[in-house]
Structure 1
Amino acid sequence: MSDALSVMAWSTLGWDGIILLFHPIWLTIARINRAIAMLIFPEQCRAARGLLNWSQENLALAAGVSRSTIKDFEAQRHCLQRSSEKLLVETFDSAGVELLIEGSGRLGVRFKR
């Protein structure tokens, strides 16, 4: 692939003021398109719940969303509404969990330092 073509293939994601780069070699185009709009991924939601030892019901109550919203999101049956997504991110933030997205497209969670 030429350099010009390679550069054109990159996409960006704005998240907490950080610009991250994703390359289609690491992620599929569909995942990149989702990544541009998402603040939290289903894998991160499950991992963050595990870190906090919360059930789907615990998270739903803490965030003020339905359990089925959490269940369907984590099972990747649908994307979250923007307002629900924001509530989840704020809930994890308040509980001391940091959501991580590395430039290579790897996802993670950890307790805030």
Structure 2
Amino acid sequence: MSIENLSNQASAVTTRQIKAARALLGWSQGDLAERSAVSEPTIARLEAEDGRLGGRPETVSKIISALVVAGIAFIPENGGGLGVRLLQKPPR
């Protein structure tokens, strides 16, 4: 999912995808909090609920944007199930 598509897809992202994205990046909740400008207690609270990522739309956008900028692609439900992928960084 590109940053341009965040507003269209944000409501489809699940807490499991957020946790999986953090795992792929090796990030703690604190790391995500720092990079998204969302408090760590808020991230912990949102991740504690299973299902669609809740919270205020601007909070959800900040979280998803931080992960996308770090190289995460969110994979929508497409018959194979929701997921995340760590995109390869372009060679320098």
Scaled to the shorter chain, the TM-score interval is 0.7 to 0.9
Residue in 2 that maps onto 1:101:
76
Residue in 1 that maps onto 2:13:
40
Residue in 2 that maps onto 1:8:
none
Which residue of 49, 63, 66 corresponds with 1:76? 49
Residue in 1 that maps onto 2:26:
53
Residue in 1 that maps onto 2:40:
67
The SS at the match of 1:54 is coil
Percent of matched pairs sharing the same residue: 32
Q: 2 CA distance for matches of 1:58 and 1:102? A: 27
Provide the TM-score with structure 1 as the length reference: 0.62
Residue in 1 that maps onto 2:67:
92
Rg larger for: 1
Q: Which structure dedicates a bigger proportion of its chain to strand?
A: 1
- Deviation (angstroms), 1:60: 0.4
Provide the TM-score with structure 2 as the length reference: 0.75
Q: Which structure dedicates a bigger proportion of its chain to helix?
A: 2
Q: Whose RCO is larger (CA < 8 A, sep 6+)? A: 2
Q: Which runs of 4+ in 1 moved over 2 A?
A: 102-105
How many residue pairs get aligned? The number is 82
Q: 1 CA distance for matches of 2:13 and 2:24? A: 15
Question: Residues 97 and 37 of structure 1: is their aligned pair in 2 closer, same or farther, counting only changes over 3 Å?
Answer: closer
Unaligned 5+ runs, structure 1: 1-15, 20-35
Residues 74 and 85 in structure 2, CA contact (< 8 A), matched pair in contact too: yes
- Deviation (angstroms), 1:37: 6.7
- 1:111 equivalent in alignment to 2:79: no
Unaligned 5+ runs, structure 2: none
The SS at the match of 2:27 is coil
Superposition RMSD in Å: 2.7
The SS at the match of 1:79 is coil
